[in-house]
């Protein structure tokens, strides 16, 4: 039966396990940290997108075609994002840059799980519109190579930009995003000066090490996919990677408040989801 004639393909726990074990063995990607229900949903989604009739077909493809893991991971790691998502956060960030952070000689920022870069360009614009004029350097990372490539190019469809402009106007009602991009045939290319200070890199936040220290770490809407044990380990990693007093920022739907160790982080702004290293 062709997949288009079928209804939803089902995947059993055993099938999911044998697939993830095979991927782990061959590519070193460990899915045991992912929340199983949401992982299963995303594997089923990938089966439809790549037009496989069964999980077995996917399994064979992953074992035989070494390069297939990249587009597969791009689908599994769903990168929904937008510019100026959660304007409350960005208003608070502007205020922090104008006040508490203004004296910093050098500000270092990590965007962990930056997807296609919208969060990074947003921060670039917030920096530009704040009175912070000292040096800033940023590291923007994601497990999806395709997302990192898009982020680096900074090219987005104009339809998206029009949507982002509405978020932006909540942040700055007297301006418009148009001054930050050039438009050509429905494609907006973001002003390269917004990310001159940014290094984009492939990085698995769970597995790969971090050798730098940061003043601000964004990890928004990424941990949503991970189980509690992995979240605990990640908090530890973020704690270790922050300078004293550094800020840790999560997404509005990352329901992790009860998991955060209050001896390590204090809540700086609950509405904007900003924590501070103690």
Ligand X SMILES: C[S@@+](CC[C@H](N)C(=O)[O-])C[C@H]1O[C@@H](n2cnc3c(N)ncnc32)[C@H](O)[C@@H]1O
Enumerate binding residues for ligand X (CB under 6 A).
77, 79-81, 85, 113-115, 118-119, 142-144, 147, 204-206, 220-222, 225, 251
Nearer to ligand X, 110 or 239 (CB): 110
DSSP track, the chain: --GGGS-PPP--HHHHHHHHHHHHHHH---GGGB-HHHHHHHHHHHHHHTT-SSHHHHHHHHHH-GGGHHHHHHHHT-----TT-SHHHHHHHHHHHHTTTTT-SEEEEEEET-TTSHHHHHHHHHHHTSS--SEEEEEEEES-HHHHHHHHHTEEEHHHHHHHHHHHHHH-TT--GGGGEEEETTEEEE-GGGGTTEEEEE--TTTS-----EEEEEE-SSGGGB-HHHHHHHHHHHHHHEEEEEEEEE-TT---GGGS-TTTEEEEETTTTEEEE-
The answer to whether 68 and 50 have CB atoms below 8 angstroms apart is: no
Rounded to the nearest whole angstrom, what is the least distance from the CB of residue 24 to ligand X in the complex? 13
Rounded to the nearest whole angstrom, what is the least distance from the CB of residue 110 to ligand X in the complex? 11
Strand partners, 250: 219
- In angstroms, the CA 67 to CA 124 distance is 33
Nearer to ligand X, 57 or 253 (CB): 253
Nearer to ligand X, 108 or 230 (CB): 230
Nearer to ligand X, 136 or 151 (CB): 151
Nearer to ligand X, 273 or 277 (CB): 273
Nearest to 81 by CA among 124, 129, 33, 122: 122
Rounded to the nearest whole angstrom, what is the least distance from the CB of residue 123 to ligand X in the complex? 11
Rounded to the nearest whole angstrom, what is the least distance from the CB of residue 46 to ligand X in the complex? 13
Nearer to ligand X, 111 or 277 (CB): 111
Rounded to the nearest whole angstrom, what is the least distance from the CB of residue 120 to ligand X in the complex? 9
Rounded to the nearest whole angstrom, what is the least distance from the CB of residue 253 to ligand X in the complex? 9
Rounded to the nearest whole angstrom, what is the least distance from the CB of residue 15 to ligand X in the complex? 22
Nearer to ligand X, 3 or 45 (CB): 45
């Amino acid at each position: 039966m062709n997949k288009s004639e079928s209804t939803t393909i089902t995947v059993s726990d055993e099938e999911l396990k044998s697939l993830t074990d095979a991927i782990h063995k061959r590519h070193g990607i460990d899915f045991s940290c992912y929340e199983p229900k949401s992982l299963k949903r995303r594997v089923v989604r990938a089966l439809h997108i790549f037009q496989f009739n069964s999980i077995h077909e996917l399994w064979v493809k992953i074992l035989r075609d070494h390069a297939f893991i990249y587009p597969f991971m791009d689908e599994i790691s769903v990168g929904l994002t937008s510019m100026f998502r959660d304007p409350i956060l960005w208003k608070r960030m502007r205020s922090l840059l104008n006040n508490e952070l203004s004296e910093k000689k050098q500000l270092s920022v990590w965007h962990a799980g930056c997807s296609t870069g919208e969060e990074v360009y947003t921060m670039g614009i917030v920096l530009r519109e704040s009175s912070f004029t000292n040096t800033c350097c940023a590291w923007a990372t994601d497990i999806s190579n395709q997302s990192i490539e898009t982020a680096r190019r900074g090219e987005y469809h104009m339809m998206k930009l029009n949507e982002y402009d509405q978020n932006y106007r909540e942040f700055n009602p007297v301006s418009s995003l148009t001054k930050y991009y050039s438009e050509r045939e429905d494609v907006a290319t973001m002003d390269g000066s917004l990310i001159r200070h940014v290094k984009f890199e492939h990085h698995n936040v769970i597995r790969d090490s971090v050798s730098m220290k940061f003043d601000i770490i964004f990890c928004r809407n990424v941990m949503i996919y991970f189980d509690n044990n992995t979240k605990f380990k990640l908090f530890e990693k973020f704690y270790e990677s922050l300078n004293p007093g550094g800020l840790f920022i999560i997404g509005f739907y990352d329901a992790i408040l009860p998991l955060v160790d209050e001896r390590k982080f204090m809540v700086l702004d609950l509405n904007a989801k900003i924590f501070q290293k103690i």
